[in-house]
Structure 1
Amino acid sequence: MIVSAALVSTAAMVGCCGPWLLRRILRARMPAVLRFVAWMLLLGSMIAAGAGAVATAFGPGHEAARRLVARLRFDALRHHEVLHLDEVVGISGALLAAASAGAFAFAAIRRYRHQLRLHDRHFAELSTVCRARAGVWWLPLEEKLAYSVAGKPGLVVLSEGLAKDLSETELAAVVDHERSHLRGRHHRLVAFAHAVSAALPFVPLARRSPEFVAAAVELSADSAAGRRHGPATVSAALDRMHPVRSAATALRLEHLACRDTAITGILALATAALLPVSTAAVLVVAGAWTATPALLHA
């Protein structure tokens, strides 16, 4: 029972504190891949702790499964028994896991089909209004547009208006930014984050995942373009494309300015890795310390 309670508390702690950590990881200067590693560590540890609590409740030495069958046969009602903690954790956890898995699968399939339709529609429409040059589709519009669409083949779409407003090097940086999204399969990461959010909308960590991943993939693509064309070029292109700065644009410009926050990033990543382990260890030790006197006097 102590272990089950510790694992449930660990999952709740990670699920609630995760967004706070992700905000700091997002602002910290670190390799792009480490942001995704930290996010997956938090998600994985939360899910593993929850699954471990359910497995422990139904594991050897626990009679939750047998008592559940007895209750279904109304044996417990005749003996006026009450629910035990491991029964509550096991039954509710198993139901929650099944519902979440179904919601995740449904959301993932729906987004995958949407992405396929989006790619096919873009490819068909682009083929009728413009032509590709050097792997880039140029829309005859005065608006400043630049985006990519995942699929086979991956599409990089820019507007003619953007080409008029940006220099040649800035335009090349924008193209590399969009191609970095395709190479890094960033669209799949965003889709996965949305599926996680749909599966566990009541968990802050899952609910904030799409926002975090959307910002992280932009920082990753900016970094890739900056390595080839220089951060100043990417920053200038971003300034021209977004004259009115949003919070997301300000964050990207801040990272392109190369402010040294590496220590903050290391600390945030270490916290993301150690939070689940340390929380579970403290709770197990505290529970064992509390239960030991009762066991000795039993």
Structure 2
Amino acid sequence: MQFATSQDVLGCDKVTGIERAAELGFDGVELVVPDGIHRVDEESGMVLDLDGIDVYEDDLWTPEGRERVQEAAERHEIALPSVCPSYLNCRPGLKSSDEAERAAVAADVEGLIEAAADLGSTAILVPFFYDAEIEDEADRERVVDAVRDLAPVAEDAGVTLALETSLPPETDRAMLDAIDSPAVGVYYDIGNSTWFGYDPAREFDLIGESVASMHVKDSVDSSGDAMLGAGEVDFEGFAVALDGLGYEGWLVLETVHRGDPVADAAANLEFLREAVGRR
């Protein structure tokens, strides 16, 4: 297994995050286009992050920005396994009943596929939470249709579209079967799984072969609000389920911090390595 951290965990820009991750002993960094406060500026119509900056100014969108990030990754010998456009949670996106909205988000995903391929990232997390949460059969059908259309682009680029939803594993499995592409999988999250009351062993039976990457976090009062080991996640059971699956991919921290993101990331990494028996 390889251990990465979300850029957000370290609370900094991409280049600084790569530097910090290398110092802490991570193998990789998941790059993030932030979602900020889940809102759109009504005047400009643009999705805003916490500082009110257009998310399309992120380094991932330009060759020059990607070059800066890639140079840092090569200099510090850090992999960039995945890209997380969490800002997509700010809008209905691929589930939308508005055809123009779906087309706009599909165009964004195509741009992210190009970015991921340039950076050597093999997975794009496609999130379906907040405004993008899949709520009914009509939503599921629209998502399936949209992702099925994007799948050949991802396959040609050597990138997996990893869907992360709040749905039970049976529904995720049905969606994957309907899309029917080797370039589409799931992004598994043990913190979310625990929060939603799912059983990892059952999930892995149904979707394990399709897991492209995994987030790791812990929960007390909300999903992801605790240091690893301080919440409800059964990490011993998780380790057993990983062994049963034979998983050797990425485990990516998506954890909170208590004021010092670097120190807390280091503590969470140590806990995770010990929990899964990899020191």
Query: Same fold, TM exceeding 0.5?
Result: no
Structure with the bigger percentage of strand: 2
TM-score after normalising by structure 1: 0.27
TM-score, scaled to structure 2: 0.29
